[in-house]
Structure 1
Amino acid sequence: MSVDKFNAKAKLKKFKKQFILGGGLVFVLILVMVYSTDTKDTPPPEKIQSSQVYTAVKKLNPSTADVLLQQNEQQQLQQAQINQQLLQKINDLESQNQTYRKAALEQESNTNALNDKLGKLNTTKIAASGATGNYVSQKPVKAVFEDDINNDSGDDSTFESATQRIGQTANNSSSDKPDEIKSISTYIPSNTFVKGTLIVALSANTGGNADTTPTPFLVRLTDLARLPNEFRANLRSCMVAGSGYGDLSTERIKMRTTKMSCVLKNGQAIDIQVDGYIAGEDSKPGMRGMVVTHSGGVAAKATLAGFIQGIGTIGQAMGQTQTITPLGGVTTTISPQQAVTAGAGAGISQAGQTLSQYYMNMLTQISPSIEVSAGRHVTVVFTNGVELKLPINSQDVSNNSPLPIQ
């Protein structure tokens, strides 16, 4: 046993020596090979182009900011194009304006030349007439030509018509006469007033468009007209018509005269327009009346319709069940047992709403009115002079009775 153990140990030592020698040889060979490869000339590495590199990067979607930035750039480009077009149009308009100004200056120079010619022509006619006397030199009429500078049609009809009007204007200026002296027998001056009686009762509207659709009235004059400087005019029994509208702030009817008619003893009639106003018993313009409102019944009906609508809304809500979802929303459901109640409530609510809207529209069209009864005493004031065309004051004032009705 001891001999065998000794042999095994000797073999193991021999194997270790052989293994260490073999490993050292292999290591020396590897070093020689590495040294030989490093000493050789190695070619430079080839450059790899970017097109030969393949990546597996996933394409990303553009963000909202990138999209907005791109849209903003496009809008800026469009705005720049629009600004360029507008600038071009402005330059064109400026050039056209300069052209029109030159044309206007030329036209003004032609007008001045024509005025000079007209003055020389008038002077030549006066010298050629041969009449004796002192002549007052008249300033030539300045010709004013109205031409549309924006009209490029080349029509000179406006220029020709303007030259034709020059002579007419000169003739009219030379033939002006002073105002004729008017007599109170055929003329009633302004600020004349006369007493009268209201024949027709009024119910004037006070709405927003009352002044556009006034209410007519009729006044019978019951006294002589009071002219300035204590003069009188015989307008007794004449009729004056007009129209008026209500003013809710003053509770008065503003009345203006439009026509006056008279019949003389010889049967001749006068029917002329007159400008004036009516003053009431308190000597204030207009007549004070009673304010009457017609909207009470309609307002009560509108209130009742709104009450019915509220009852219907309550019935509709009683037949519905509302639940709040986990996300915060509201869900409305109708149970089969309450379906009739919900339907009836919805119908009543809709009907009440329709009636309420109808009566509200009616209320907007109804406005208060001011009523004035007939037979009230008024004063008619003429604001402008009245040309009678017939001598009304030549009649007998003491016995001025109207013609009998046949």
Structure 2
Amino acid sequence: MIPDKTERVLELEARLLEFMEEHIYPNEARYYRETEELGPFAVQPIVEELKPIAKAAGLWNLFLPDSELGAGLKNVEYAPLCEIMGRSHLAPEVFNCSAPDTGNMETLVRYATPEQQERWLKPLLAGEIRSSFAMTEPDVASSDARNIQSEIRREGDEYVINGHKWYTTGATDPRCKLLIFMGKTDPSAETYRQQSMILLPKDTPGVTVKRSLPVFGFYAVPDRASEITFENVRVPVSSMLLGEGRGFEIAQGRLGPGRIHHCMRSIGLAERTLAKVCKRTSERVAFGKPISDQSVTRERIAEMRIMIEQCRLLTLYAAHKMDTVGNKEAKAEIAMIKVAVPKMVCQVVDWAIQAFGGGGTGNDFGLASAYATARIMRLVDGPDEVHRDQLARLELKKQAATNQTGGVGNWGPAVSSRALPPAE
């Protein structure tokens, strides 16, 4: 059973909604304009202006369950707050709750040494720097992380790093100072002990951010995707995270919360899109009546509401299960939402574009960038196909373990032989 919202969550929710109305929505046009004019290698001034206001309002680092470093909220408590932030591309970073920093900070909290935390975690928590996660590679199918070919080789008191990464979120940001890099330390080891993760300052010689990668033509919104090369990059052995061969272990610990955060934000995007559809179709007249009075529009609005509520409940259940039995035991539920939510948002935004007509294909109403956001969610942190495959294997294993028919079995002939006439 999903618990009710606590008084604290309700109070934070009210403050967050007020902040969105006062500071986020009125500044969205400026945010998109600055993003387009300044490009992906720059910082939007509006973001830096709003961050201290959010911090002063006590709406900072709400994602972090560690009560000493963050808000100390459970996943199911953070879910409605994250959803509200997801209604705007501008909001998450303003509250220091945006990817990939949230996942990287949680990684540092769980796996970094005190020295590593002092150097990297503290400035990230303060919003003074940003970070990236470098895993995906252009030359292999990175949906299977075992394919990763980048090399982390030890030479004395240093590691030498060589590799080629892309879709590394955030590396074009001038505030990005840290890369968490995944590569092979021992190709001869057991499969899941070959990979390691290492902390890499972005300004280390040999690190080159080659270009910004657009998502459906959008640079920086929804994603500051980047291509990077690493040529004989040297860092001290103290940069290794947790230990050699622990890369997959760290990845699993990092990706569970990251996936649910993506789904929470995506539900917020769908909710905002539905609100736009209702407003727009009520104001526009076609064939003698408001578009909202057309049966096809009403049917789609109803379906949007159903789909959003289904995904919200499934996401809250996954969050509750993560809180109560842990991320590993909730992996089936996490896989379900990672497939269901982006698919739902893609459909909601697609119907919204149809309702808005030609204007929906541009970005005057934010629908094109919303679709780009929704569509990329079907790939980030594992594509749909990987999650479906994992979910099917878990289901087959569960069904086999029960050793029960569950009402499924040989029901016999459709008509009893006793009812047949005798043979002549």
Q: TM-score, normalised by structure 1?
A: 0.19
The structure where strand makes up a greater share of residues is: 1
The structure where helix makes up a greater share of residues is: 2
Q: TM-score, normalised by structure 2?
A: 0.18
Structure of greater relative contact order (alpha carbons < 8 Å, 6+ residues apart): 1
Q: Which is greater in Rg?
A: 1
